[in-house]
Amino acid sequence: MSHVSRSRIRTGLVYGALVLAAAGIVGLVSATPLLNTTLDDFYMHGSQPYPNVPANPNFDPLLSAQNCSSCHAEESGLQPASYSVPYNRWAYSMMAQSFRDPIFQAQFDIAEIDAPFSGDGCLKCHAPAGWLQGRANVPGATVPAKGQNFADSDRNGVSCSICHRMVDPEADPANPPVDAAVFAQLGANTPPNFPSVGLQPGGPLHAVNSFIIDNRNNRRGPFDPENCFHVAYESPFHKESGLCAGCHDVSNPVYVKQNDGSYLASAMGQPHPTGNKYEMYPMDRTYSEWLASDFATTGVSLTVPNPNPGATPSIVGRYSYDGVTRTIPQIPTDPSLLVIYNAELTYTTCQSCHMPPTTGYGADPNLGSPLRTNAPVHNFTGVNSWVLLAVQDVWGASETLMVDEALVQESVDRNKFRMSQASDMELTYQASQLKVRIYNHAGHKLPGGFAEGRRMWLNVKFFDGADAIVGERGAYDSATATITEADTKVYELIHGVDATASFLTGLPVGKSFHIDINNKVFKDNRIPPRGFSNAKFAAIQSAPIGATYADGQYWDDTFFDLPVGAVRAEVTVLHQITGRDYIEFLRDNATTIQPLGSPNSMPQPGIAWTAPPGTPAGNLTTGQIAYAQWIKWGKSAPVVKDQGSITFTPPTPRCSPADIAFDDGSPLPPIGIPGGTNNGLTEGDYNLFFSNFFDAGLVCDIANDDGTPLPPFGLLTTNNGTTEADYNLFFSVFFDGCP
Flag whether 699 is in a domain: yes
- Mention every residue, 6+ apart, whose C-beta is less than 8 A from residue 360: 80, 81, 83, 84, 85, 371, 372, 375, 377
* Judgement on whether residues 723 and 575 belong to the same structural domain of the protein: no
Average of per-residue pLDDT across 516-541: 98
CB atoms within 10 A of CB 678: 20
Distance (Å, rounded) from C-alpha 304 to C-alpha 320? Answer: 10
Does some domain include residue 576?
yes
Is 469 inside any structural domain?
Answer: yes
Q: Same structural domain for residues 655 and 534?
A: no
| 565 neighbors 464 (Cβ within 8 angstroms) | yes
Gap between the Cα atoms of 123 and 132, Å rounded: 10
Give the pLDDT confidence score for residue 334 in this predicted structure: 86
Segment 692-718 mean pLDDT: 89
Tens-digit pLDDT profile for residues 593-642: 998 889 999 998 889 899 999 999 999 999 999 999 999 999 999 999 99
Q: Are residues 551 and 619 in the same domain?
A: yes
Residues 464 and 536 in one domain: yes
The count of C-alpha atoms lying within 13 angstroms of the C-alpha of 324, restricted to the half-sphere facing its C-beta, is 19
Confidence of residue 650 (pLDDT cuts 50, 70, 90): low
Of the candidates 472, 482, 388, 377, which has an alpha carbon nearest to the alpha carbon of residue 434?
Answer: 472
Local confidence band at 19 (pLDDT 50, 70, 90 cut-offs): very low
603 domain residue, yes or no = yes
Strand partners, 251: 282
H-state helical runs in 422-498: none
- Domain final residue pick, 646, 678, 697: 646
pLDDT at 460: 98
Task: Round to whole Å and give the CA distance between 83 and 74.
Answer: 9
> Residue 205 corresponds to which amino acid?
L
Neighbour-count burial for 163-195, b at 16+ CB within 10 Å, e otherwise: bbbbbbbeeeeebbeebeebeebbeebbbbebe
538 lies in the same domain as 676: no
Can you tell me the mean pLDDT for 175-195?
95
Q: Is 710 in the same domain as 641?
A: no
In angstroms, how far is the first alpha carbon of the chain from the final one? 84
Extract long-range pairs of 476-484: CB within 8 Å, 24+ residues apart.
476/574, 476/638, 478/635, 478/637, 480/580, 481/579, 481/580, 481/635, 481/636, 482/580, 483/455, 483/457
Residue 391 lies in a domain: no
pLDDT(12) > 60: no
- CB neighbour list of residue 344: distance below 8 Å, 6 or more residues apart: 317, 320, 352, 356, 357
**Which tops the pLDDT comparison, 13 or 112?**
112
Q: Judge if 559 and 705 occupy the same domain.
A: no
367-378 per-position pLDDT tens digit? 999 999 999 999
pLDDT score at 727 = 95
Same domain, 631 and 562: yes
Residue 663 resides in a domain: yes
The letter for the amino acid at 213 is I
Q: Which of 591, 616, 646 is the last residue of a domain?
A: 646
Backbone angles phi, psi at 308, to 5 degrees: -95, 110
Let me know the angle formed at the C-alpha of 723 by 718 and 726, rounded to the nearest 5 degrees.
85
Torsion 581-586-589-591 (CA) sign: negative
Q: Supply the mean pLDDT for the chain.
A: 92
b (16+ CB within 10 A) / e for 546-556: eeebeeebbbb
Query: Do 560 and 695 reside in the same domain of the chain?
Result: no
Average pLDDT over residues 697-718: 90
| Among candidate residues 614, 646, 678, the one where a domain is terminated | 646
Within this chain, do residues 465 and 557 fall inside the same structural domain, yes or no? yes
- Quote the CA–CA distance of 402 and 225 in Å, as a whole number: 28
pLDDT of residue 694: 87
* pLDDT computed for residue 1 by the predictor: 32
Residue percentage of the chain with pLDDT more than 90? 82
477/575 same-domain check: yes
What are the pLDDT digits (tens) for 573-604? 999 999 999 999 999 999 999 988 899 999 98
Map 506-565 to HEC letters. CCCCEECCCCCCCCEEEEECCECCCCCCHHHHHHCCCCCECCCCCCCCCEEEEEEECCCC
- For 404-453, how does the pLDDT look when each residue is reduced to its tens digit (9 = 90+)? 999 999 999 999 999 999 999 999 998 779 999 999 999 999 999 999 99
Q: How confident is the model at residue 651 (pLDDT cuts 50, 70, 90)?
A: low
Task: State the DSSP string of 163-178.
Answer: HHTEE-SS--TTS-TT
In a domain, residue 282? The reply is no
pLDDT for 531-566, tens place per residue?
A: 999 999 999 999 999 999 999 999 999 999 999 999
Domain extent, residue 326, equals 300-376
Instruction: Say what the pLDDT of residue 24 is.
Output: 34
Alpha helices in 315-404 (DSSP H): 350-354, 387-395, 397-400
Which of 46-50, 498-502, 574-578, 690-694 is the least confident region?
690-694
Phi, psi of 559, deg, nearest 5:
-115, 140
In a domain, 432, yes or no: yes
One-letter amino acid of 210: S
Residue 388 sits at φ, ψ, to 5 deg, of -60, -35
Q: How many domains does the chain have?
A: 3
Confidence of residue 15 (pLDDT cuts 50, 70, 90): very low
Q: Assess whether 621 and 657 both reside in one domain.
A: no
Q: Each residue of 212-261: pLDDT tens digit? A: 999 999 999 999 887 788 989 999 999 999 999 999 999 999 999 999 99
